[in-house]
């Protein structure tokens, strides 16, 4: 019983015992079998249901806020160009505002909008006291300087948390707003009972919007954080080995089904941030079918991180309204 087979049998027995006593098993830290043993079938994390729960909580908070202040929180969305995916995202965000009792404004601009024209729109929204959150939908058409536009948004209305002032506050662990997708990832982990403190989190992707802020949030000294974080990107050597060392693997690279079962440690939590449009529909960056045979917890695409992103945008807009009226 000392060979690999003996270990696998002991692990399987241990799993059965833990299943009997703990319906939440598999947990995502603690004992793992050696790499290569795939004996776990993942629990699927239902981001849609979780976001509905959060939105119901927010609807109550918003109703209380309106009653106390007579102010209706308002999100203004700016969409430049005709990108179909961006149109869907903006529509969903507006719908979510309506459903939770907030107001939304929508400014649609043509593809050939100049920097000056876009800056004028942003400045007008900055000065509009009835607008509490401003969202400039990314990606902007080529030729528009995205960082400059994000920097033009009044930091107190910057519900996406892309303004350098808000990024700086986040890095110093005194965030004004947490960026929406990384905050959604953290909420998924927290509300699913995944222990992050001391866990090895591997984030694949280092973009300013997802990878980098996710890593920063999870490494902070804070509840739902305190993780040991490794960030990977296109130049990372031995990426499969690094991914396999993760207790929690977060993937945000924009490559359909890139992460396969052999890159996942049995029992690990896998969060798939990717949204890729393929001939077969929307798919994530994780090969769901193979990884679900190995991971302990896994998010689907669609229905995983995406709905949480929108819920966090609503949360940030309410917070922005509170900051602006001083409650
Ligand atoms: P970016 O294109 O800005 O960044 C991609 C990152 O992935 C880069 O850091 C890049 O590395 C890295 N990368 C690309 N290929 C590889 C590879 N083969 N191996 C390792 N690393 C790689 O993308 P975003 O961060 O904006 O988005 C990532 C995904 O998340 C997309 O599918 C996007 O649609 C989705 N998304 C989902 C959201 C949601 O709400 N669920 C919200 C936002 C994005 P390098 O820096 O070296 O180039």
The span from the CA of 327 to the CA of 321, in Å, is 9
Instruction: Check pLDDT > 70 for residue 7.
Output: no
The span from the CA of 189 to the CA of 248, in Å, is 9
Confidence of residue 30 (pLDDT cuts 50, 70, 90): very low
Q: Which two structure tokens, joined as six digits, stand for 291?
A: 């990884």
Cβ of 101 below 6 Å from ligand 1: no
Q: Which two structure tokens, joined as six digits, stand for 1?
A: 């019983």
Pick the CATH number of 71-160 from 3.30.1280.10, 3.40.50.10860, 3.40.1280.10, 3.30.830.10: 3.40.50.10860
pLDDT per position as a tens digit, 101-139 = 999 999 999 999 999 999 999 999 999 999 999 999 999
Residue with CA nearest ligand 1 atom 18: 234
Asked if residue 69 lies in contact with residue 326, where contact means CB atoms within 8 angstroms, the answer is no
What class does CATH assign to 26-45+179-307? alpha beta
Instruction: Check pLDDT > 90 for residue 8.
Output: no
DSSP 102-149: -EEEEEEE-TT--HHHHHHHHHHHHH-TT--EEEEPSSPPTTS-HHHH
Q: Across the strands, what pairs with 80?
A: 109
The span from the CA of 327 to the CA of 318, in Å, is 11
Quick one: which of 310, 151, 208, 97 has its CA closest to 136? 151
Instruction: Check pLDDT > 70 for residue 254.
Output: yes
Helix (H) or strand (E) holding 250: strand 248-251
The span from the CA of 79 to the CA of 74, in Å, is 16
Three-state DSSP class for residue 315? helix
Asked if residue 269 lies in contact with residue 297, where contact means CB atoms within 8 angstroms, the answer is yes
Asked if residue 154 lies in contact with residue 134, where contact means CB atoms within 8 angstroms, the answer is yes
The span from the CA of 193 to the CA of 54, in Å, is 16
Q: What are the residue ranges of CATH 3.40.50.10860 in the chain?
A: 71-160
The span from the CA of 265 to the CA of 249, in Å, is 9
**In terms of DSSP bridges, do strands 269-272 and 276-278 run parallel, antiparallel, or are they unpaired?**
unpaired
Q: Which of 83, 205, 271, 307 is the pocket-test mutation for ligand 1 (most atoms within 8 Å of CB)?
A: 205
Confidence of residue 180 (pLDDT cuts 50, 70, 90): very high
**Is 95 assigned a catalytic role?**
no
Stronger pLDDT, 5 or 303, i.e. the higher one: 303
Confidence of residue 12 (pLDDT cuts 50, 70, 90): very low
**Is 137 assigned a catalytic role?**
yes
Q: Which two structure tokens, joined as six digits, stand for 11?
A: 């692990």
Within the chain, residue ranges assigned H as helices are 4-21, 47-69, 84-100, 115-127, 146-152, 164-171, 180-191, 211-219, 239-244, 288-291, 305-325
Q: What pLDDT does residue 1 have?
A: 34
Stronger pLDDT, 60 or 22, i.e. the higher one: 60
Q: What are the residue ranges of CATH 3.40.50.720 in the chain?
A: 26-45+179-307
Q: What pLDDT does residue 17 have?
A: 34
Stronger pLDDT, 28 or 117, i.e. the higher one: 117
Burial of 311 (0-12, 13-18, 19+ CB in 10 A): buried
Cβ of 183 below 6 Å from ligand 1: no
**Is 127 assigned a catalytic role?**
no
Give Cα 237 distance to the centre of its chain: 25
Instruction: Check pLDDT > 60 for residue 235.
Output: yes
What pTM value is reported for the model?
A: 0.89
Cβ of 306 below 6 Å from ligand 1: yes
Confidence of residue 200 (pLDDT cuts 50, 70, 90): very high
Q: How far is CA 88 from CA 2, 84, 113, in A?
A: 56, 6, 20
Instruction: Check pLDDT > 50 for residue 236.
Output: yes
Confidence of residue 86 (pLDDT cuts 50, 70, 90): very high
């Amino acid at each position: 019983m000392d060979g690999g087979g003996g270990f696998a049998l002991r692990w399987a027995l241990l799993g059965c015992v833990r299943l009997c006593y703990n319906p939440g098993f598999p947990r995502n830290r603690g004992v793992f079998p050696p790499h290569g043993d795939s004996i776990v079938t993942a629990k699927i994390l239902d981001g849609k249901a979780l976001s509905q729960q959060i939105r119901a909580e927010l609807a109550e908070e918003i109703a209380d806020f309106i009653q106390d202040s007579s102010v209706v929180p308002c999100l203004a969305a700016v969409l430049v160009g005709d990108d179909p995916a961006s149109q869907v995202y903006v529509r969903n965000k507006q719908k979510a505002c309506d459903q939770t009792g907030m107001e939304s404004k929508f400014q649609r601009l043509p593809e050939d909008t100049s920097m000056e024209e876009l800056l004028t729109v942003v400045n007008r929204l900055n000065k509009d006291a009835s607008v509490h959150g401003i969202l400039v939908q990314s990606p902007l058409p080529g030729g528009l300087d995205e960082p400059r536009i994000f920097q033009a948004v009044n930091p107190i209305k910057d519900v996406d948390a892309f303004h350098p002032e808000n990024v700086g506050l986040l890095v110093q662990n005194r965030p004004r707003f947490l960026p929406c997708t990384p905050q959604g990832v953290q909420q998924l982990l927290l509300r699913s009972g995944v222990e992050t403190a001391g866990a090895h989190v591997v984030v694949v992707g280092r973009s300013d919007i997802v990878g980098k802020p996710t890593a920063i949030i999870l490494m902070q000294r804070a509840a739902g954080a305190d993780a040991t974080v490794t960030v990977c990107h296109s130049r990372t050597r031995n990426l499969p080995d690094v991914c396999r060392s993760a207790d929690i693997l977060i993937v945000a690279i924009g490559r359909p089904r890139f992460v396969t079962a052999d890159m996942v440690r049995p029992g690990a939590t896998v969060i798939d941030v990717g949204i890729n449009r393929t001939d077969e529909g929307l798919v994530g960056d994780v090969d769901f079918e193979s990884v679900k045979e190995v991971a302990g917890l896994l998010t689907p695409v669609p229905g995983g991180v995406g709905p949480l992103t929108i819920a966090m945008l609503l949360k940030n807009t309410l917070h922005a309204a509170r900051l602006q009226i001083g409650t």
